[in-house]
Each structure stands twice: as structure tokens, then as C-alpha cells.
Amino acid sequence: MGQLLGAMASAVPLFLSIRRDNGHHLWLVGVFPDPCVVCDHGCWGEDRQFRPLLERYPNVHIDTAQYLLDGGIRGARCRLRADRLLYGSGFPESHFGGMMMALKHAQIADGAKSAIAHGNLERLLKEAWS
Amino acid sequence: MIGSMVKRSPLAREFWENGRAASCPIYDMHGHMGSYHSIYFPRGEAPDMIRTMDEAGVRLLLFSHHAALNSPDLGNRLSVEAVRRFPNRLRAYCVINPNYPERVAQDLATFDSLYPDVYVGLKFLSDYHAIALTDDRYRPAWEHADARGLLVLAHTWGGSVYDGEEVVARVAERYPRVKFLLGHSCHGAWGAAVALAQAFSNIYLELTAVFDDRGAIGSWLPRQVRIGCCSALISRGLIPITLLVF
């Protein structure tokens, strides 16, 4: 934990699994407002868990791994902006093609798809390294 | 891997490019409908689901309404109403909840009058209803299905004392005329599911939730595999692309 806190204090991006961690370490998000935090989440329409985080903490992002919900990407994009969503697949536990297919055919603009697929992560890493 | 399969297979390419394939319409054997506690559904009601079906090339969806699974006071009524509203696109499973034997008796008594125009078979949700498929409280429904050679979709999960692989084997042997579709294919116990399909000609495997465990599908027998995607829970395309590409 000490190493983790040190990394967060120096603004290293944190990838935090809500699904595996049951949200036990979400308090870190409020304590360290600067580093980028990317969260995954479970598969059963758990927008009620991650949307409040996104609305309250501008440094929080979510990935799409296990975001299986029919129409979920479009709903999240309309409500929250595409720059807070990052492509994730859950690979190697899951196939990476499933979420590629879901993103490819999500009913959002091509620019938003591109940002989710790679642009957002490239921006976040550039910010972290600058 | 996606790239190579899409290049080799016109069917995979069509699915990848269009989200559906005109030459390969889908009959989705495992769907749901309606609201569910704590879950957000952008497209959870019948009209929206039909829209998703059109986008994904799903010709017919066999489903059980969440109310039928979880609200015994409502029972199968909302399933029946949805099928009557979209008779060319939907068929319902008659959900059996053996915690309510009087309701089971009513549902079985009316089944024949609604089959096949509304009902396509029976649906069991043993893990959630906490009654094993082998329990005597399921017997009237099994006997009803066996006598008619009906399709039965049962939620099955590897290792479960309610609907795991050992339980499945016992009921498949006891009711050989039932067309037994294993929802989630004994999720996690993939080898056992394949062995069941090989041992029992009346057992069929179904793909809902299989895609979250990479590598499971390769060992299956195509003749006894059926598509399901738990709509409106799961995004369109996840199952077909998993099936085609991996």
C-alpha cells in the first residue's frame, strides 16, 4: 500500500478494479485528485456504481471490459462524454473481440469511438509523462 | 486473430462489418425482458429489444420476462403480453418457480392453450429459486415437458448443487424426451458440459455467458450448440463475434 500511495502522490495513473476489489479502495480516488484513475466494473448494468464516481471525480475514467450492457456505451457516452471511457476487453480472461465488436457498432460518432479505442489512453499517458 | 478470421471467413467478415449477416439469421434461445433490481437497462422493454434484434440480425428471440422469474404475483403474464404484441419476433418460455406450487399448477394447466403460439417451452432458474432440478417440486413440470417432448431451458452453473453438471445428468437421464437446453452450459465446467452433450442426445449447450471465459467454445460439438445472449442484458454482437472469430 505504501508503494501504491507513493505512486499516486507522484501522479502515476492507477488502474483500479472495482469488480475484483468490491470498491474497497475507492477512497483513494478522493484522497488523490491528481492522478488519472481507470476503473473497471462488473457486467450487470452497474452504471449506478461508476457513474457517480465519474460525475464527482474528474480524474476518474472507466474501461469497457465487462461493459456488456446492450446500449451501454451509447448511454454512457451521451451522459458522460467519450473522453472518460477507455477500451478494455478483459483479455486474456475474456476474448478481446467482443468489446471491439460492441464498440465498432455502438451508436456513437466515429470520433468518439476512436477516442475510446486509443485516443483517451494516449492523452492520459502523455499527461502523466509530461 | 480477429483480422485473420475476418479475412478467411466471409461470414465472420459480414458480422464484423455490419453487426449482422443476411445469410445467417439468428434464433436467440435465451433472452430476458423488463426491469431488474439494481440493473440499468438502456433497452430493456420489448420495442427497444426488437430494435436491437433488427440491428443484430436476430430473427426470433425466445425469452423469459424478469417478472416471471422474480415476481410470482405477476408470473408469466408480461411474457404472454409481449409475445402477443410481437408475435413474429418473440416466443416465451413458461417460467416455473417451484417455490409456488399453486402457481406452477396454474401455469401447467394453461400451457397447452398457449403452445406454440406464445410459449416455446419451460424455463427453470434453480440457482436463483434455490431448489434443485432433481427436487420433487419440479417433478410436475418435468413430467409435463417429458410427456410432450418440450424444450426446457434451465440455468446451469458448474458445481452448483441446484443445477450443476451432476444434477443435470440425473434429470437428463430421467426425462429423455425433454429437449434440454443448458443455459450457460454449466458455466465454468466446460469439459463436463461437453461430456453431457456427448452422453445425452437430448442435451444442448447454449452460449450465454460463455464469451467471458476465453477458449471454451473450441471443444464443443456444433450440432448441439445453440445461440443465447441474455438480451437485454448483453450487447449485440458479443456472442456471434465470439463464436465466429475465436
Q: How confident is the model at residue A75 (pLDDT cuts 50, 70, 90)?
A: confident
A119 at interface of B, judged by CB pairs closer than 8 A: no
pLDDT for the residue B245: 44
Taking the mean position of all CA atoms in its chain, how far away is CA A13?
12
| A40 Cα to chain B: minimum distance (Å) | 15
- How far apart CA B92 and CA A106 sit, in angstroms, is 28
The pLDDT confidence band at residue A7, using thresholds 50, 70 and 90, is low
A45 interfacial to chain B (CB closer than 8 Å): yes
Q: What pLDDT sits at residue B241?
A: 47
C-alpha cell at B226: 445453440
Q: How confident is the model at residue B146 (pLDDT cuts 50, 70, 90)?
A: very high
Higher pLDDT, B239 or A72: A72
Average pLDDT of chain B to the nearest whole number? 90
C-beta of residue A43 within 8 angstroms of C-beta of residue A68: yes
Tell whether the model's pLDDT for residue B98 goes beyond 50.
yes
What average pLDDT does this structure show over B125-141? 98
A52-61, A96-105, B198-207: lowest mean pLDDT where?
Answer: A52-61
Contact B233 A45 (CB under 8 A): yes
**Of the candidate ranges A29-38, B84-93, B224-233, the one whose mean pLDDT is the lowest:** B224-233
Residues 6+ positions from B56 with CB-CB distance below 8 Å:
B19, B20, B26, B236, B237, B240
Mean pLDDT of B127-149: 98
**B68: distance to nearest CA of chain A, Å?**
19
Q: What is the mean pLDDT of residues B210-217?
A: 75
Stretch B65-70: mean pLDDT: 97
Residue A120 grid coordinates: 483517451
Q: Which helix (H) or strand (E) holds B106?
A: helix B101-114
A-chain CB neighbours of B46 within 8 Å are: none
Give the mean pLDDT of A73-79: 80
Calculate mean pLDDT across residues B203-208: 91
Interface residue A104 vs chain B (CB under 8 A): yes
What value does the mean pLDDT take over residues B74-91? 98
Kindly indicate the confidence band of residue B212, based on its pLDDT and cuts at 50, 70 and 90. confident
pTM confidence score: 0.88
CA of B3: which chain A residue's CA is closest? Answer: A97
- Three-state SS at B123: strand
* CA proximity to A102, closest of A115, A119, A92, A88: A88
Q: For an interface test with B, which of A95, A100, A104 has the most B Cβ atoms less than 10 Å from its Cβ?
A: A95
* Distance between B200 CA and the closest CA of chain A, angstroms: 29
List the single residue in A45, A93, A97 with the smallest CB-CB distance to B2.
Answer: A97
What confidence tier does A8 reach under pLDDT thresholds 50, 70, 90? low
A44 vs B241: CB contact, 8 Å cut-off? Answer: no
Pick A72's closest partner by Cβ from B19, B36, B235. B235
For A18-32, A39-53, B33-47, B209-223, which range has the lowest pLDDT when averaged over its residues? B209-223
pLDDT at B243 over 70: no
Q: Does residue A83 belong to the interface with chain B, where contact is any CB pair within 8 Å?
A: no
pLDDT at B200: 96
Inter-chain CB proximity B238 and A105 less than 8 Å: no
ipTM rounded to 2 decimals: 0.82
DSSP structure string for A32-57? --SS-EEEE--SS-THHHHHHHHHH-
Contact between chains at A93 and B213 (C-beta distance less than 8 A): yes
Task: Determine the pLDDT at residue B238.
Answer: 52
Q: Which comes out higher in pLDDT, residue A46 or B10? A: B10
CB A53 within 8 A of CB A27: no
Q: Residue length, chain A?
A: 130
Residues of B in contact with A48 (CB under 8 A): 38, 40
Check whether A72 has a pLDDT greater than 50.
yes
**What backbone torsions phi and psi does residue A113 show, to the nearest 5 degrees?**
-60, -45
Q: Dump the DSSP string for B149-218.
A: T-EEEEEEETT-TTTSHHHHHHHHHH-TTSEEEEEEEEET-HHHHHHHHHH-TTEEEE-TTGGGSTTSGG
**Mean pLDDT (whole number) for B19-34:** 93
* CA-closest candidate to residue B152, choices B176, B181, B177, B127: B181
- Measured between CB atoms, does A79 come within 8 Å of chain B? no
Q: In percent, how much of chain B has pLDDT > 90?
A: 76
Q: Average of pLDDT values for B150-179?
A: 98
User: What percent of chain A has pLDDT above 90?
Assistant: 21
CB contact under 8 A, B38 and A48: yes
- How many whole angstroms from its chain centre is CA A108? 17
Mutate to test the interface with B, among A80, A87, A101, A104 (most CBs of B within 10 A): A101
pLDDT in tens, B190-199: 999 999 999 9
Find the CB nearest A70 among B211, B212, B233. Answer: B233
Q: Which of B41, B214, B241 sits opposite A101 (nearest CB)?
A: B241
Task: Determine the distance from the C-alpha atom of residue B2 to the mean position of all C-alpha atoms in its chain, rounded to a whole number.
Answer: 27
Interval B46-63 mean pLDDT: 96
Q: Mind listing the pLDDT tens digit for each residue in B107-126?
A: 999 999 999 999 999 999 99
Which residues in chain B touch residue A104, judged by CB atoms under 8 angstroms apart? 16, 19
